[in-house]
Amino acid sequence: MRVVIIGGSHAGIACAESLRQNGYDGQITIIERLGGLPLERPPLSKAFLAADPDDESRFALRNKDWYANHDITLKTGVEVAAIDAGSRSVSLADGEALSYDRLVLATGATPRRLGGLDAMSGVYELRHPEDARSIRDAATNAASAVIVGGGYIGLEVAASLTKTGVNVAVFEAADRLLARVASPPISDFFTTLHSDAGVDLHIGSHVADFINDKGAFAGVTTANGKTLSADMLVVGIGVAPETGLAEMAGCAIGNGILVGSDMATNVDGIYAIGDGALVQTDGTDAIGGEAAVHIGAGIRIESVHNAQDSGERAAAAINGHAPPSRQAPWFWSEQYDARLQSAGLVPPPDDDTVFVRRPGKRETGFSVWSLKGGMLYAVEAVRDPAGYMLGKTCLERGLTPDAAQLADPAFDLKAFVAG
Ligand SMILES: Cc1cc2nc3c(=O)[nH]c(=O)nc-3n(C[C@H](O)[C@H](O)[C@H](O)COP(=O)(O)OP(=O)(O)OC[C@H]3O[C@@H](n4cnc5c(N)ncnc54)[C@H](O)[C@@H]3O)c2cc1C
């Protein structure tokens, strides 16, 4: 039996590892279009941007011996060009064809682009190590940068560049930073953090025009007609799932490759995992208790935890094992000296939702608890690992502390969780 995995990043490698841990002893081949040893993605907007270019091996997802030690064939620098689901084979761009018994699509997602910038130098996106290298190189000669997009990646890059002495301006079209993923109190916290660090924030503001100086990015014009000169532009406006190969194979597609809770697509023998997979479940096998419904029907999560978890789920299905138990989805971000940890999925603000701020143990630490319809949906903790752990446990056990109790620093949350 042979398992072929397309994509050698967080999800693909987690799946290969889990197959071996589950006792699978057939062939495993990972095909990755980028060259070199696969590297972790989260540091690319954080420590990697300040790291010594000769010391990248510390960011490797696995060290180079790991693949041979686990009898996993890693083919890098070659793209899968086509899938023939009928004959169960994939064709590589270099002409090689490989047959498979099970195929795992771990092809991730691609940054969305702004129109009209393709021909301009000095414009960057950030998904892969080569993108981060380009940003790092550009930043060494730049005095100023514009970032379009006030999501996690845009803000992490803003913090990293600011720390190296670059003057940064951030443009976010929504009415708050992190609007798609974080609660309003967390948006407020990061707004203050960046303002205090000297970042020029343009919230609720579009870039009206990009200034092109002889083919190079030279700055932007703001919606109210001001000109802002800058040496480089980073675009961080979200990603689109990679679905091309899946479509070619006959897989059903929505805003991602459609899979069930076992990560199987509608095409026999083909699985999809990681950022590209859109999971459709009835919620009954989701995280414990009532909180199950929150990650119920139709969800595509972009995080390391989801990449790992979905890889393990596909591996269990391929091996015919029971799936791993559910954890609340978790995520982290690092900006300046602040570490955010979140668990669950933050609901969009509405009349039915309250966001309760709870002080942490440390003076500058706190957590924000999102309750919707009286039920806990998410916990976001800044400089407060204990608050995060307690919140994650509540989510996994289906426990919802009372809003007034949560806001009260004297309330013994630990005892509440212990039951
Ligand atoms: C800068 C940055 C910072 C992040 N920070 C955090 C963080 O702090 N916390 C967190 O939880 N998450 C973070 N994330 C998100 C996290 O890294 C992603 O959720 C994770 O990488 C998803 O893994 P994946 O394997 O599904 O996809 P990807 O990492 O996108 O990998 C997909 C791989 O498939 C390969 N591929 C695609 N098509 C083909 C083909 N046809 N043939 C061969 N290979 C192909 C691609 O080259 C790529 O290497 C960050 C992401 C980025 C980019």
Q: What is the mean pLDDT of residues 314-328?
A: 94
User: What per-residue confidence (pLDDT) applies to 119?
Assistant: 87
Token pair 């009415």: residue: 175
3-state secondary structure of 337: coil
Arithmetic mean of pLDDT over the chain: 94
Q: Does the residue 328 lie in any domain?
A: no
7 vs 297: which has the higher pLDDT: 7
Q: What CATH number has the domain bearing residue 204?
A: 3.50.50.60
Percent of the chain with pLDDT over 90: 92
Domain holding 44, by residue range, is: 2-110+240-319
Within this chain, do residues 271 and 412 fall inside the same structural domain, yes or no? Answer: no
Helix ranges (DSSP H) in 197-265 = 244-248
Out of 237, 261, 286, pick the residue that ends a domain: 237
User: CB under 8 Å, gap of 24 or more: what pairs does 134-139 form?
Assistant: 135/49, 135/232, 135/234, 136/48, 136/49, 136/50, 136/51, 136/53, 138/231, 138/232, 139/49, 139/164, 139/166, 139/232
Structure-derived torsion over alpha carbons of residues 339, 238, 188, 332, reported in degrees to the nearest 10:
-20
Within this chain, do residues 218 and 172 fall inside the same structural domain, yes or no? Answer: yes
User: What per-residue confidence (pLDDT) applies to 282?
Assistant: 63
Within this chain, do residues 176 and 61 fall inside the same structural domain, yes or no? Answer: no
Q: Is the CB of 43 under 6 A from ligand 1?
A: no
Distance from Cα 307 to the centre of ligand 1, integer Å? 8
User: What per-residue confidence (pLDDT) applies to 326?
Assistant: 85
Distance from Cα 169 to the centre of ligand 1, integer Å? 26
Asked if 178 and 255 touch (Cβ cutoff 8 Å), the reply is no
Within this chain, do residues 183 and 215 fall inside the same structural domain, yes or no? Answer: yes
What pLDDT, in 10s, does the model give residues 13-31?
Answer: 999 999 999 999 999 999 9
* Neighbouring residues of 97: CB distance < 8 A, sequence distance ≥ 6: 89, 90, 91
Distance between start and end Cα atoms, the chain: 48
Within this chain, do residues 405 and 359 fall inside the same structural domain, yes or no? Answer: yes
Q: Does the residue 20 lie in any domain?
A: yes
Q: Is the CB of 197 under 6 A from ligand 1?
A: no
* Neighbouring residues of 289: CB distance < 8 A, sequence distance ≥ 6: 397, 398, 399
Q: What CATH number has the domain bearing residue 399?
A: 3.30.390.30
Going by their DSSP bridges, the two strands 144-148 and 167-172 should be labelled as parallel
Distance from Cα 300 to the centre of ligand 1, integer Å? 13
User: What per-residue confidence (pLDDT) applies to 297?
Assistant: 55
Q: Is the CB of 257 under 6 A from ligand 1?
A: no
Q: Does the residue 228 lie in any domain?
A: yes
Distance from Cα 31 to the centre of ligand 1, integer Å? 14
Number of structural domains the chain divides into: 3
Residue 343 has which token pair?
Answer: 């668990």
What pLDDT, in 10s, does the model give residues 247-270?
Answer: 999 999 999 999 999 999 999 999
Out of 293, 319, 345, pick the residue that ends a domain: 319
Q: Is the CB of 340 under 6 A from ligand 1?
A: no
Q: Does the residue 324 lie in any domain?
A: no
The pTM of this model reads: 0.95
Q: Is the CB of 313 under 6 A from ligand 1?
A: no
Asked if 79 and 92 touch (Cβ cutoff 8 Å), the reply is yes
Q: Is the CB of 67 under 6 A from ligand 1?
A: no
When pLDDT is cut at 50, 70 and 90, the band that residue 190 belongs to is: very high
Environment class of residue 72 by beta-carbon count within 10 Å: exposed (0-12), middle (13-18) or buried (19+)?
A: buried
| Distance set, CA 362 to CA 69, 104, 295 (Å) | 43, 44, 31
Percent of the chain with pLDDT over 70: 96
Within this chain, do residues 30 and 171 fall inside the same structural domain, yes or no? Answer: no
Q: Is the CB of 331 under 6 A from ligand 1?
A: yes
Q: Is the CB of 109 under 6 A from ligand 1?
A: yes
67 phi, psi to nearest 5 deg:
-65, -50
Within this chain, do residues 161 and 217 fall inside the same structural domain, yes or no? Answer: yes
Asked if 183 and 124 touch (Cβ cutoff 8 Å), the reply is no
Distance from Cα 271 to the centre of ligand 1, integer Å? 17
Q: Does the residue 91 lie in any domain?
A: yes
Q: Does the residue 170 lie in any domain?
A: yes
| pLDDT at 42 > cutoff 90 | yes
Within this chain, do residues 100 and 123 fall inside the same structural domain, yes or no? Answer: no
SS (H, E, C) 11-77: HHHHHHHHHHHCCCCCEEEEEECCCCCCECCHHHHCHHHHCCCCCCHHHECCCHHHHHHCCEEEEEC
How many beta carbons lie within 10 A of that of residue 130, not counting itself?
A: 12
Q: Is the CB of 66 under 6 A from ligand 1?
A: no
Asked if 16 and 28 touch (Cβ cutoff 8 Å), the reply is yes
Distance from Cα 244 to the centre of ligand 1, integer Å? 16
Q: Does the residue 132 lie in any domain?
A: yes
Closest CA to 365 of 348, 346, 345, 388: 388
Q: What is the mean pLDDT of residues 195-216?
A: 96
Q: Is the CB of 41 under 6 A from ligand 1?
A: yes
Within this chain, do residues 150 and 94 fall inside the same structural domain, yes or no? Answer: no
| pLDDT at 61 > cutoff 50 | yes
Environment class of residue 238 by beta-carbon count within 10 Å: exposed (0-12), middle (13-18) or buried (19+)?
A: middle
Out of 263, 288, 319, pick the residue that ends a domain: 319
Closest CA to 380 of 235, 182, 136: 182
Asked if 327 and 309 touch (Cβ cutoff 8 Å), the reply is yes
Q: Does the residue 348 lie in any domain?
A: yes
The size of the chain, in residues, is 419
Within this chain, do residues 348 and 404 fall inside the same structural domain, yes or no? Answer: yes
Within this chain, do residues 93 and 117 fall inside the same structural domain, yes or no? Answer: no
User: What per-residue confidence (pLDDT) applies to 299?
Assistant: 87
3-state secondary structure of 308: helix
User: What per-residue confidence (pLDDT) applies to 162?
Assistant: 98
Asked if 138 and 232 touch (Cβ cutoff 8 Å), the reply is yes
Within this chain, do residues 180 and 194 fall inside the same structural domain, yes or no? Answer: yes
